[in-house]
Amino acid sequence: MTRDDRLIEPLLANDEVKMWFGRLLARAERRDLSGIHGSYDHIYENVIGKCFILGLNANIPRFHEAMGFVLDFLEVQIAKTHSPKLTFDKMYQYRDNETLLVCYLPFLGYANEPAVRYVAEKRINLVYEFTQLGRYDIYPSDRRFPGAHKAWKPYIVDPQLYADGNIRLPSIHDLILYAGIYPDLDEEMRRKVEVTVGWIFGEGYSQINNTLYYYAADDPSYRSKAINDKVILPSVEAIRKGEHQARDLLYLSFILSHFRAARQSTWFAALRALLATYRTSEGRYLFPREMIREKKDSYVIYGGHMNVGEPRRPRLHAELLSTYWAERILANDAGTDF
């Protein structure tokens, strides 16, 4: 529908599109960029992530007009001069007000906006600086960290990896950004992206704690905080055996399917085999409902909003969504246009 101008009005009349686009329009009217990260449905990252899932994009005039306040803010944000001190406010300025704001914009048709390009290239280069070393020893040997929570001290990331406020470990938001902008990158930048994605599939990656804690000695309010999780690769084998829930598998697999380093991994080979077990005799797919859930106040990045605008009552709802997501993943895997 989003590729045919004649179908834009029916798209915008879809109940789910009206609900989520309405949340963006309300923010645009207020020029409101508070509440960027979190699980609630009014949070920016969920609103913009759901707009992407529903197919909204820059070619739709009303959507493009609504996105103006975000693009305006980004231009101001990247021109800011920050204090040389390392504080959590500074780290959030870079993470929330740059990476999180931008991460879906290439998917939405803004890959060549100067501010989007700036943030994408900055993140690709900074994260590559660390991942190209092939190291997984992200915890310093000196773990005194005065003022930090005692239980967190063994898992506080080496401050050298964010000394300037920019975290050099890849997040799910980085991967979303990389996936969207990948077609518009040159070969050298693609290589850097692939090195970073390959690092996530490296042998030492599992040794890193799922929650990443950080330390800012200059911060007057906190000394240590849990800012984000690492990109957690669920055990496909455990899911196949029914030993682990698959609720966050599908969306992560979709994002990872954009990268050659992911597709060539043994993890992705296991994923292909798992998806095949859900294939019906008619050649469609039917996943467990937890994999295609649509749940109030849950994260898009963890697969909490998988509906693409289909009415939820018809008998074929689960089969429609399952087949849609399976074919998007498999199309990326095969290098074809969905």
Query: Which pLDDT tens digit goes with each residue over 245-261?
Result: 888 999 999 999 999 99
What letter represents residue 200's amino acid?
I
Query: In the predicted model, is pLDDT for residue 242 greater than 90?
Result: no
What digits encode the pLDDT tens for the residues 189-220? 999 999 999 999 999 999 999 999 999 989 98
Q: What is the pLDDT of residue 172?
A: 98
Domain boundaries, the chain: 1-66, 83-232, 237-338
Rounded to whole angstroms, how far apart are CA atoms 312 and 307?
A: 9
What are the φ and ψ backbone dihedral angles of 102, each rounded to 5 degrees? Answer: -90, -25
Query: What would the pLDDT profile of 131-179 be if each residue is shown by its tens digit?
Result: 999 999 999 987 789 999 999 999 999 999 999 999 999 999 999 999 9
Burial class, 131, CB count within 10 angstroms (exposed 0-12 / middle 13-18 / buried 19+)? buried
Decide if pLDDT at 338 tops 70: no
- pLDDT score, position 206: 94
Give the per-residue pLDDT at 325: 97
- Tokens encoding 32: 């409101």
pLDDT at residue 143 in the model: 74
Please, what is the end-to-end C-alpha distance for the chain in angstroms?
A: 13
Give the residue among 139, 157, 255, 278 at the shortest CA–CA distance from 197.
255
Tell me, what's the pLDDT at 137? 95
pLDDT in tens, 33-69: 999 999 999 999 999 999 999 999 999 999 999 999 9
The total of other beta-carbon atoms located within 10 Å of residue 108's CB is 22
Q: Which residues pair with 225 in a beta bridge?
A: 214
